Each structure stands twice: as structure tokens, then as C-alpha cells.
Amino acid sequence: MKHIVGVADMKTSNQAADTIITYSLGSCIGLVIYDPFAKAGGILHYMLPDSSIDDAKAKSKPYMFVDTGIPRLFKETYTLGAKKSRMKVFIAGGAEILDQQGFFNIGKRNYMALKKMLFRNNVLIEKQAVGGNVNRTVRLEIATGHIYIKTSGSREERI
């Protein structure tokens, strides 16, 4: 079954037949985590680095922000049998699509907030496709743990 992760959304699974996909990562970041032993993983598609800018939004849409979305992604995946010590981590996005002059730097700020949170929690990034000025789509196959990325104007490829 294909699970689509929208903007400010998250999906997890441990069902072998499932695929999780998120589209059009521009300045947003798609965080993909996968435990190959438990065959459980998920994708978070977050928009902004810090929930303190809007407490009400953080409560109603916790997946919109780094600091409220990432803990929920990991905790939900743990309920499916995953363990942090076995987790493979991939990130995509963080581009400057509408802000190519770098005035707001949302993509970079999203990336830096993610790196800080992962570092504080002793989680290493295995692979990444971040920055630039292109949109990306990311897909995770639960049965294999294979991650595929498609960049605007190119074919999908396994990473």
C-alpha cells in the first residue's frame, strides 16, 4: 500500500507491502528513518525549524516543525519495534526554491535545526540530498529499506 506524506505530515509502517512517499520537498525537509532489523520506518515532511513561533500551530500541526515533529517520528517508529541504535537516517530537501537570494534561508535553517537535534540525540545521518534550488521526492520501501529520490528534471534513483 502506498502512504503519501503531505506537507506538515508524517507516516510510519512496519508492513512489508507498504511504501511511504513524500513529494515536492523544496525548503521543507523529508526525514526518512528505517530500522533494517525491525523492518520499520517512516517519513516526516516538516516545514519550519522552530515551533516557538506559533504555539497554537505547534499543538494542532506538530509535524510542521523540527522540534515537535522529529520526536514524534522516532517515538511512533519505536512502537513498531524499531530501536534508535539500529536506525538508518536519510534527509532530503532544504533547498532555496522561492528564496534563491538567501534572504530568509528557510531551507538552511530547517537543515541546521535538524542537524542540531540529531546531534544532541546521538543520531547520525547516513545519507543526504539537501540544498540547491530543486524540488525532491523521496520514497521508502518498508520491505527492503530501499530509499529512492527523484530530483526535478531527472529520473528516480535508489540511494
CATH number of residue 105's parent domain: 3.30.1330.200
Q: Please give the grid coordinates belonging to residue 50.
A: 522552530
Please report the pLDDT score of residue 87 as a whole number: 96
**Pick from 38, 11, 23, 149: which is nearest to 1 by CA?**
11
Distance in angstroms (rounded) separating the CA atoms of residues 92 and 25: 7
Cross-strand partners of 45: 9, 30
pLDDT at 106: 87
pLDDT truncated to tens, each residue of the chain (159 aa)?
999 999 999 999 999 999 999 999 999 999 999 999 999 999 999 999 999 988 898 899 999 999 999 999 999 999 999 999 999 999 999 998 765 554 568 899 999 999 999 999 999 999 999 998 899 999 999 999 999 999 988 999 998
Helix extents (H) in 15-149:
55-60, 66-78, 106-120
Structural domain that includes position 45: 2-158
Among residues 134, 47, 129, the alpha carbon closest in space to that of 89 is found at: 129
List Cβ neighbours of 113 (8 Å cut-off, separation of 6 or more). Answer: 49, 50, 66, 67
Catalytic residues: 28
User: What is the number of residues in the chain?
Assistant: 159
Q: Which of 142, 159, 141 is nearest to 150 (CA)?
A: 159
For the chain, the domain total comes to 1
